Amino acid sequence: MQHKSKIGLLQSPYIWAFTTYFAEGFPYTIVRIISSVFFRDMGVSLQAIGLTSLYGIPWVLKFLWGPHIDEYGTKRRWMLSMQFCLIVLIFLVALFVSVPGGIKLIAVVLLIASFVAATHDMAIDGYYMEALDEEGQAKFVGYRVMAYRIAMMTGTGIIVTVGTTTSWHLAYACAAAMLGLLFTYHILLLPRVESYKKPLVSLLRSALNYRLVAVGGMLALSILLFVKLVIPYWNRHIVPWLPALGKIRFSGWVAIGLLLALVCLGLFKNRIKELMLQDKSSFYARAFIAFMDRERMGMALAFIILMRTGESMLASMVSPFIVDLGIKVHYGWISGGVGLPFSIVGAMVGGWLIARYGLKKTIWPFLLAQNFTNLIYMALAFHLQPFVMLNTGASMPTPIGIANIILVASVHAFDQFAGGLGTSVLITYLMRTCLDEFKAAHFAIGSGLMNISGVLAGASSGFLAAWLGYGAFFGVSFLASLPGMALIFFIPFLDRDHRTDPHS
């Protein structure tokens, strides 16, 4: 009896919600963040390191193969399969570190790992929604955020430190071992909560279909031509004419393309639906049609895109603001020692309150708190404007005083706490937009769209801040948040379950 209770405790969502999202954040950190540090430490040119941004493409394009995770096998099986592949791939990186010419092999392995990790993410998100009801999903949002952030800290702190001070061979071997421990726990104790669907082997058979191979080849060729021809032409002839466009990365254009495709789907819904559903057995087509073919879905998409516009504009300029204040030496402890824990607490408190009082009652105050931060930063920037003018570009900054440093840290703490509340709202709302049959695909679409505001903010914020000054810019960023907050009164999915496919 005692043995069973121990197993039950180990299978608690309090544990697996943490371990699964640690396992999600850790490979992302290895592929997207640590890779650039590793390549630079190995003497790779900055131009070549810049190409590591291509590793982010699978996280933007993952909605394309998301329906397959819903259609075949179970999310648990997908998760475990992808985790095992990631362990093997990271271990291969460790082996190739000391092999002559191993850098090019590692670049290829990490590219493969990026697709595996993006698929792994969708499986974990889908499993989370399968295993928990709406109240539980909201309740454990904070655990998700905490685990993901700790995974990133582990990667950028421990793994990078081992790599730069001891050896990258040992660093990547440790990373593979850590993921192996999580895999062992998951394969032994992760609850089996899903009904089995089509066998995975049938997906492998269909993948060998000549049409799919041809489509995959054309897609690969298109990406290659885009990188080799379109991007150089764009950088030489278009960006000098409109510099803001140069700040939008390839992944950002993919997210914008997804938005335009969904707009077209909404405008020509009936005709497109007729064409896509000619094959009644097409799970893939039904996944996309089911996402769009719901009442007030346009409002929902607008809200997903706009709800973080003000926050994204603010976040893109906080670091330059602190540098221009002349306190960049304090940025590490303000960001990591103050900001990180407050963001985790904000997400956990937000998830608990949403679970207790519901999304409809909490969404307005949470988003108001998130965007009120912009006004606080505006007041802070105007208050410290004399120091910004003195210290911008100065080799020996004028001290701003301990009281002002504490004030900046306090504002940043509130910013991160309120941002955690906003994160809990966004994740909960994205989960509400997912139909039961298409959880992985729909969450992938929503998470791809939510990055658009960050793309636009990154392209415009620097120019606006330089033109207006930090104080006025932070005020404008608050105004940019108002359309998203206004949409709260018109969006669906706040107070009742919309999990049933209307076409099933």
| Whether the predicted pLDDT of 453 surpasses 50 | yes
| Whether the predicted pLDDT of 326 surpasses 80 | yes
How many other CB atoms sit within 10 Å of the CB of residue 180? Answer: 17
Angstrom distance (rounded) from CA 284 to CA 276:
9
Give the pLDDT score at 252.
66
Which H, E and C letters describe 456-491, residue by residue? HHHHHHHHHHHHHCHHHHHHHHHHHHHHHHHHHHCC
Q: Tell how far CA 289 is from the center of its chain.
A: 24
Give the C-alpha distances (Å, rounded to integers) separating 169 from 25, 177, 417, 429: 21, 12, 38, 42
> Domains in the chain, start-ordered, CATH in brackets?
2-200 (1.20.1250.20), 298-489 (1.20.1250.20)
Angstrom distance (rounded) from CA 152 to CA 243:
32
pLDDT in tens, 268-287: 666 666 665 666 556 767 78
User: Lowest mean pLDDT: which of 93-102, 110-119, 367-376, 455-464?
Assistant: 455-464
Higher-pLDDT residue of 208, 386: 386
**Mean pLDDT (whole number) for 22-47:** 88
Angstrom distance (rounded) from CA 307 to CA 478:
11
**Mean pLDDT (whole number) for 437-463:** 78
Q: Is residue 198 within 8 Å of residue 71, measured between CB atoms?
A: yes
| Whether the predicted pLDDT of 427 surpasses 50 | yes
Give the pLDDT score at 494.
84
**Mean pLDDT (whole number) for 434-451:** 84
Q: Is residue 440 within 8 Å of residue 72, measured between CB atoms?
A: no
Q: Is residue 279 within 8 Å of residue 489, measured between CB atoms?
A: no
**Mean pLDDT (whole number) for 344-357:** 91
Give the pLDDT score at 410.
95
pLDDT in tens, 147-186: 998 998 899 888 988 998 899 999 999 999 999 999 999 9
Q: Is residue 332 within 8 Å of residue 395, measured between CB atoms?
A: no
Give the residue among 256, 291, 308, 265 at the shortest CA–CA distance from 453: 308
pLDDT in tens, 42-73: 887 766 676 677 788 788 778 888 888 888 88
Mean pLDDT of the chain: 84
Higher-pLDDT residue of 202, 41: 41
Residue percentage of the chain with pLDDT more than 90: 38
| pLDDT band, very low/low/confident/very high, at 253 (cuts 50, 70, 90) | low
Angstrom distance (rounded) from CA 226 to CA 249:
13
Radius of gyration of the CA atoms of the chain, in A? 23
| Whether the predicted pLDDT of 486 surpasses 90 | yes
| Whether the predicted pLDDT of 346 surpasses 90 | yes
**Mean pLDDT (whole number) for 7-12:** 71
Give the pLDDT score at 66.
84
Give the pLDDT score at 178.
97
Give the pLDDT score at 504.
46
Phi, psi of 462 (to 5 degrees): -60, -40
**Mean pLDDT (whole number) for 415-435:** 91
DSSP 168-235: HHHHHHHHHHHHHHHHHHHHHHS---S---B-HHHHHHHHTSHHHHHHHHHHHHHHHHIIIIIHHHII
Give the pLDDT score at 266.
64
Q: Is residue 349 within 8 Å of residue 366, measured between CB atoms?
A: no
Higher-pLDDT residue of 451, 416: 416
| pLDDT band, very low/low/confident/very high, at 241 (cuts 50, 70, 90) | confident
Angstrom distance (rounded) from CA 174 to CA 242:
45
Higher-pLDDT residue of 110, 257: 110
Give the residue among 156, 122, 48, 494 at the shortest CA–CA distance from 307: 494
| Whether the predicted pLDDT of 373 surpasses 90 | yes
Q: Tokens standing for 265?
A: 């789907």
